[in-house]
Amino acid sequence: MHPILPVILSGGSGTRLWPLSREAYPKQFLPLAGEKTMLQATWERVAALAAQAPIVVANEAHRFVVAEQLLQVGVAPQAILLEPVGRNTAPAIAVAALEATAAGDDPLLLVLASDHVITDPAAFHTAVLAAAPAAAAGKLVTFGIVPTGPETGYGYIKAAAGDGVRAVERFVEKPDLATAEGYVASGDYFWNSGMFLLRASRYLAELERLAPAMAEGCRSAFARAVRDADFTRLDSAAFAAVPSDSIDYAVMEKTADAVVIGLDAGWSDVGSWSALRDVSVRDADGNASRGDVIAIDCHNSYAYGEHLIAMVGLDNVIVVETEDAVLVAHADKVQQVKEVVARLKAEGRPEATWHRKVYRPWGAYDSIDQGERFQVKRITVKPGGTLSLQMHHHRAEHWIVVSGTAEVTRGEEVILLAENQSTYIPLGVTHRLRNPGKLPLELIEVQSGSYLGEDDIVRFEDTYGRA
């Protein structure tokens, strides 16, 4: 059997799970359905099937989060391909296939979204292994989810009669309720999962035949890619010119070799807060929660919070609380959360994109207080982490070490600060912060000045390629 190479697609923004999932830190990087993040759980689910470390296709802005989270579960991807702009799944899979075949290999690509839940990994493994011979023979296999009800939020796949791997007769857009009920009753339809098993060269050949401009653009973007440490940066101009389309539209609906295998493994794309409620452990009243939650006389509700949440007399309600936003919604209306995000973006509000706590390759910062002409941040620097050599035109900074050791470059001098020690960085002075120790560095930064935006940074040197 051909070796199986996981391809993990991690380019989504997860706006329907706002305020927890945001553009700068979307749902695949969050521990929504367990202790591991969804990206980490995706790898661990397929690790036993994989002949080698995965290829990950990710948004360029998320590159350090992807690498760090996978390192935490003991895997270094053989490639992290960075998309300068999103171009949907067909181009993403194409550049992964080009990477997989670059050295002359031709593995079976197991294409997975990074933000799905599967509660029965053994059943998933069984389906993948059953589909492998068809994929090795040149078929393009998709995994069809055995419906648990007439869901109107998913596309459907009609399969030919038979068992096991079956020919695809047609793909169907999201239906209305009556149509979905008919599909489920017939037994011939599956939910479209967006997961695939296909031989790398076979997919590229079909893409070249069915969408030649897309295939050529992907080859150009890959050929001009720049290798940057652990990352492969696709050429920006070439990739931006690639037509944007899903694998379903570009290839699967047009090829004669599309086949489907049924999968009954507790799958969910966790596409909404109600979907997350449904895959969570629920109490006798149908409630599910994460965090410090008290529910009295509540039914079929869900709460997620970073502080104490008390719910009384709620039925089919979603409550989500973060440090800077609260969502309260009827569970039947949670798809409209994306309209909230659209309004926030239209108004230029940062809550659409950023959390109060912002992750950086060297650690994170949390804006704990701010007012006119001042801002207070709690900064965490990982062992060995180094901020860029920088200066600010409009603000000065005070740094107070809470724990750990700080190496501070301030102008021409370099000083070491220990717990309870502090320093002052005047406006316009070049400075840098580094953690030379083996423990995390925690410090409080007090900024003061006429403008405190994150864009008031002039970088001269940067370990992470941001200068």
Q: Which domains does the chain have, with CATH numbers?
A: 4-268 (3.90.550.10), 283-342 (no CATH), 357-461 (2.60.120.10)
Written as one letter, the residue type at 15 is: T
Mean pLDDT along residues 278-303? 96
Asked whether the whole model's pTM tops 0.75, one would answer yes
Q: Which helix (H) or strand (E) holds 379?
A: strand 374-381
Q: Are 165 and 134 in contact (CB under 8 A)?
A: yes
For 134-150, what is each residue's pLDDT tens digit? Answer: 999 999 999 999 999 99
pLDDT recorded at residue 202? 98
pLDDT recorded at residue 369? 93
- pLDDT, greater one: 260 or 13: 260
> Burial, 35: exposed, middle or buried (Cβ in 10 Å; 0-12, 13-18, 19+)?
exposed
pLDDT recorded at residue 83? 96
In this predicted structure, the answer to whether residue 14 has a pLDDT above a threshold of 80 is no
In this predicted structure, the answer to whether residue 229 has a pLDDT above a threshold of 80 is no
Mark 285-300 as b/e (b = at least 16 C-beta within 10 Å): eebbbbeebebeebeb
d(CA 151, CA 235): 40
d(CA 321, CA 308): 9
Q: Is 67 helix (H, G, I), strand (E, B) or coil?
A: helix
DSSP letters of 182-197? HHHHHT-EEEEEEEEE
> Burial, 114: exposed, middle or buried (Cβ in 10 Å; 0-12, 13-18, 19+)?
buried
d(CA 3, CA 91): 22
Mean pLDDT along residues 181-202? 94
pLDDT recorded at residue 454? 87
Mean pLDDT along residues 420-426? 97
In this predicted structure, the answer to whether residue 1 has a pLDDT above a threshold of 70 is no
% of the chain surpassing 90 pLDDT: 91
Q: How far is CA 20 from CA 10, 27, 364, in A?
A: 17, 7, 17
* DSSP state, residue 249: I
% of the chain surpassing 70 pLDDT: 99
d(CA 171, CA 156): 6
pLDDT recorded at residue 59? 93
For 164-183, what is each residue's pLDDT tens digit? Answer: 999 999 999 888 899 999 99
Written as one letter, the residue type at 228 is: D
Q: How many CB atoms lie within 10 A of CB 11?
A: 23
pLDDT recorded at residue 12? 81
pLDDT recorded at residue 230? 84
Radius of gyration (C-alpha) of the chain in whole angstroms: 24
d(CA 323, CA 136): 49
Query: Residue 41 — pLDDT band, cuts 50, 70, 90?
Result: very high
pLDDT recorded at residue 384? 95
In this predicted structure, the answer to whether residue 79 has a pLDDT above a threshold of 70 is yes
Q: Are 4 and 51 in contact (CB under 8 A)?
A: yes
Q: Are 223 and 74 in contact (CB under 8 A)?
A: no
Looking at beta carbons, which pairs linking 204-207 to residues 24 or more positions away fall under 8 Å?
204/94, 204/97, 204/98, 204/101, 206/140, 206/251, 206/255, 206/257, 207/90, 207/94, 207/250, 207/251
> Residue 215: which of 247, 193, 183, 190 has the closest Cα?
247
Q: What is the mean pLDDT of the chain?
A: 95
Q: What is the 3-state secondary structure (H, E, C) of 96-126?
A: HHHHHHCCCCCCEEEEEECCCEECCHHHHHH
Question: What does the block give as tokens for 221?
Answer: 């973007």
Written as one letter, the residue type at 414 is: V
d(CA 242, CA 216): 8
d(CA 146, CA 162): 15
pLDDT recorded at residue 151? 87
In the sheet with 458-461, reading across from the earlier edge strand, the strands are 413-417, 406-410, 431-434, 389-391, 458-461
Task: Say whether the peptide bond before residue 19 is cis (omega within 30 degrees of 0).
Answer: yes
Query: Residue 276 — pLDDT band, cuts 50, 70, 90?
Result: very high
Token pair 């965090």 is found at: 291
Question: What does the block give as tokens for 75?
Answer: 């895997």
d(CA 437, CA 384): 7
